[in-house]
Amino acid sequence: MVRELCNERDFDLIIAGAGPAGAALAYKMASTGARTLLLEKADFPGQTRPWVVDVEESCFSRGNIPPPEKDSLWKKASRHFLSTSDLTTMTEIGESPLISIKNDSYIREIVSRAKRRGVKLLCGREAISPLIHKDSVVGVEVVDSNGNKEKILAKIVADCTGISAAIRSQTPDHWKMNESIELKDIVYAKRETRRIQKDLDAEEVPCLPYAPGVRIDRSGVRGAYSIESVFIDIEESFIDILVGVKADRGGRSACSELIENIIQKMPYVGEVIYGGEAPIPIRNPIECPVGNGILSLGDSAFQAVPMHGSGFASAVIAAEIASRSIIQAIESKRYTRQVLWKYASEFNRGRGAILTYYDVLRKNVESMNAYEIDKMIRSRIISEEETLTGLSVRPFPASPLYIAKKIVRGGALFRPLLRFGIAGGLARMAYRKYRKYPDSYNHEAFEKWKKSFPV
């Protein structure tokens, strides 16, 4: 039994999980004076997230948080290519909209700023369930590494626990926010930085086209939704390898196998000096990311980009939008779904609509095999323009004229192109559905919206 709750709340806000979403939200709340507790199950923020992330540079201004400082910045490739899986064709990607940062280092940077401005950080505590009282979340139960349990009360709880969605997944069915994820909607990613021989000469890099300073992204190595990316830096003596494979196509073990295959061909590659691995959700965002006293952000709300699994920018953007709803709720002393709905609506009408667009596209093209994808890159159906559009997370300009031009260019690829064209049309419909996400909570309006187009 939760103790007398209504007047006695330990915190205004509990943020469960100090990944990019939780860290950004803590930073935003710090300046408001709200009593905020950031809970992290690892021993320190970023401990379990040590990998390089390629991030839309614009997300720092959109999320209104400081850009990474020197220690968090990662080396940029001098040239960046998209390649066929057989490495015979390369498309040079122009000025990339992405910057590469050290995920854990940036998380720590933001959390320490939040701490300096009054946010309380509690590490080594796993949030195991929401505390629910009179149909509203009023806190969380946590457990430490010795198995000691504790109940902590708050007016609002933000679930930022990543794909496990530890808190929102235990909310009552009638709140409609406990959607689960299926294996087919998960990609497994692994990114490793390994030391390479110090006195290595550029000419000694035998595995062409992995030239020093050049990043090569091989698409479709294990079906449409897979990537293998390599970047060698001779001056700094490291190689950076990123692989991603859908969970239902081998996931974790396929990732390890791909990395093994790469390093076997490079005798000068040594031990791992930085890196990590984890599953990422690649489906449309959950339809209802808020309930009474609770919001869900980042991977816990499936807000990663379904086409390439990038979740950092969405998490930061979600934190900016959520913070405004949370402040409004605290100021008005109303912590209901209706008040928090502004976050659901603003996110889903904007970023959520684009993520949904990419989810429909993904579902419709992921049955393509490596041969078809290679042909599309070779005939420039997937060109620099398409790659940049995908990386900047904007919808493709898929007008009938655009598709017709591609069909003319694609020739023999009529069938996959037609599939691509149909997928584009369906994706546009899904996009429009999310643009019309209800702007305030009303049960009938929400149910009607849900049924309006099957995503």
Cβ of residue 166: shortest distance to ligand FAD, in angstroms? 4
**12, 40, 228, 372: residue in contact with ligand FAD (rule CB under 6 A):** 40
Considering the rule CB under 6 A, would residue 190 count as an interface residue with ligand FAD? Answer: yes
Pick the piece of the chain touching ligand FAD (CB under 6 A) from 27-35, 80-88, 299-307, 417-425: 299-307
Give the x/- contact pattern for ligand FAD in 165-184, rule: CB under 6 A: -x------------------
Q: Which of 217, 228, 287, 299 binds ligand FAD (CB under 6 A)?
A: 299
Binding mask 191-230 for ligand FAD (x = CB under 6 A): x---------------------------------------
The one segment of 66-74, 260-268, 310-318, 427-435 that binds ligand FAD by CB under 6 A: 310-318
The yes or no reply on residue 20 touching ligand FAD (CB under 6 A) is: yes
> Which tokens is 437 given?
């996400």
138 binds ligand FAD (CB under 6 A): no
Q: In what order do the strands lie in the sheet with 79-83?
A: 90-92, 79-83, 214-219, 226-233, 238-246, 186-196, 269-281
Q: What three-state secondary structure class fits 358?
A: helix
**Minimum CB–partner distance for residue 272 and ligand FAD (Å):** 12
> Which residue in 73, 143, 214, 278 binds ligand FAD (CB under 6 A)?
278
Strands 125-133 and 120-123: unpaired
Q: Is 312 in the site for ligand FAD (CB under 6 A)?
A: yes
Instruction: For residues 52 and 48, give the distance between their C-alpha atoms in angstroms, rounded to a whole number.
Output: 13
Using rule CB under 6 A, residue 18 touches ligand FAD: yes
- What DSSP letter does each residue of 119-146 carry, written as one string? -EEEESEEEEEEEEETTEEEEEEEEETT
Give the span between the Cα atoms of 81 and 384, in whole angstroms.
9
Q: How many Å apart are CA 52 and CA 104, to the nearest integer?
A: 8
Name the DSSP class of 10: S
Question: Would you count residue 164 as binding ligand FAD (CB under 6 A)?
Answer: yes
The stretch near ligand FAD (CB under 6 A) out of 19-27, 352-360, 406-414, 428-436 is 19-27
55 forms part of the interface with ligand FAD (CB under 6 A): yes
Question: Residue for token digits 């030391």?
Answer: 195
Pick from 63, 68, 130, 162: which binds ligand FAD (CB under 6 A)? 162
Tokens of 72: 């968090």
Secondary structure (3-state) at 237: coil
Q: Cβ(127)–Cβ(41) under 8 Å?
A: yes
Q: How far is CA 163 from CA 168, 279, 361, in A?
A: 11, 7, 22
Site for ligand FAD contains 161 (CB under 6 A): yes
CA-CA distance, 444 to 339, in Å (whole number)? 17
The least CB distance from residue 67 to ligand FAD, in Å, is: 15
- Output the CA torsion 100→102→108→112 (10° steps): -40
194: which 2 tokens?
A: 């390994």
Q: Identify the bridge partners of residue 73 per DSSP, sorted by sequence position.
A: 101
Residues found near ligand FAD in the complex (CB under 6 A): 16-22, 39-42, 48-49, 51, 53-55, 103, 126-127, 160-162, 164, 166, 189-191, 276-278, 280, 298-300, 304, 309-313, 315
